[in-house]
Amino acid sequence: MERKEVEIVVYGAEVLCPSCVNLPSSKETYEWLEAAIGRKYADQPFKITYVDIYNPPAEADKKEFAEKVIEEDMFYPVVLLEGKIVGEGNPKLKTIYAELEKYGYVSA
């Protein structure tokens, strides 16, 4: 079965959000997710991108969501999988894995 490459976007900032002081940074969360997903779904393509909410890329969708994270005081990092929020503040691997499996990913 040919599966679509799922895009995961981690929105965050260098500075920890006020409610997230004891949690890993957004960048650390991004690196941890990339490694964990890569191990669990070995040889299954996925794209993971880190977006700094204070310095977003020019892509309209990413820029708009980065602004939304700031405006709505969301707990970051905010993890989006194919445009759906699957984690906020302290994302849970179990939730992200369950969402990936809806797209046909199978754990190694």
| Segments of the chain scoring below 70 in pLDDT | 1-3, 17-20
Is the CATH number 3.40.30.30 carried by domain 6-102? yes
Q: Which residue has the tokens 């981690």?
A: 10
pLDDT at res. 34: 97
How much of the chain is helix, strand and coil, in % rounded to 5? Answer: 35, 20, 40
pLDDT at res. 4: 77
Domain ranges of the chain: 6-102
Predicted confidence (pLDDT) per residue in 9-32, tens digit: 999 998 876 666 778 889 999 999
Q: Which two tokens stand for residue 35?
A: 């490694």
pTM of the model: 0.92
